[in-house]
A and B are shown apart, each in its own frame.
Chain A
Amino acid sequence: GQSLEQPSEVTAVEGAIVQINCTYQTSGFYGLSWYQQHDGGAPTFLSYNALDGLEETGRFSSFLSRSDSYGYLLLQELQMKDSASYFCAVRDSGGYQKVTFGTGTKLQVIP
């Protein structure tokens, strides 16, 4: 089976940098994705890593280490609108491409 662990809550100051970690256990690994979800909304895609290393998309970056079964999402220049829940998700390498989500990290950005 698959399991993913993330911190449940993080608080950070506007303008600062925050890192949200994700460790996973899976029988077959294809890639790690990150999603943002505001209260009452649907998850929206942020970033994806299939290979080791850093992917940068504007203020957001995501890192993956396949050997350590570990990844993180880095948010820079935090804004109040970044207050949301963030989920990591593992895509399985099997034929059915199962996608399993972590329990999410609630980020609160304070002035």
Chain B
Amino acid sequence: NAGVTQTPKFRVLKTGQSMTLLCAQDMNHEYMYWYRQDPGMGLRLIHYSVGEGTTAKGEVPDGYNVSRLKKQNFLLGLESAAPSQTSVYFCASIAGGDTGELFFGEGSRLTVL
């Protein structure tokens, strides 16, 4: 059981380049989330999803787009990367119902030069 898998784990981009981070979960979870974490700070919510085809903006959505075409996958896209998007990105998922446990991927470290 792999849980939540993020790819790639590391990436270096030049300003203006685009890329997509992939998050895959094999737990049949309805809800999925993308967070970013900057040094010494907490996790800030970028976008989240309640199921296939449904997404919502979090606290810091500007410069990012997402898609959830399949229940198990949640993609985070950067159309034109900026140095301010240098961060560690975490994907997480949670089942419906009365549970508080978010399952996290290992994180994707992105550097924009």
Contacts and interface: CB of A to CB of B under 8 A. Distances in A.
Nearest to A95: B50
B42 A102 contact: yes
Interface stretch (B14-22, B67-75, B78-86, B102-110): B102-110
B62 interface: no
Nearest to B59: A100
Contacts of B107: 42
The secondary structure that dominates the A interface is strand
A51 to B, nearest CB: 10
A103 B41 contact: yes
Contacts of B103: 45
Interface stretch (A11-19, A30-38, A76-84): A30-38
A99 B58 CA distance: 9
Nearest to A103: B42
Interface of B: 31, 33, 35, 41-45, 48, 50, 54, 56, 58-59, 90, 92, 94, 96, 98-107
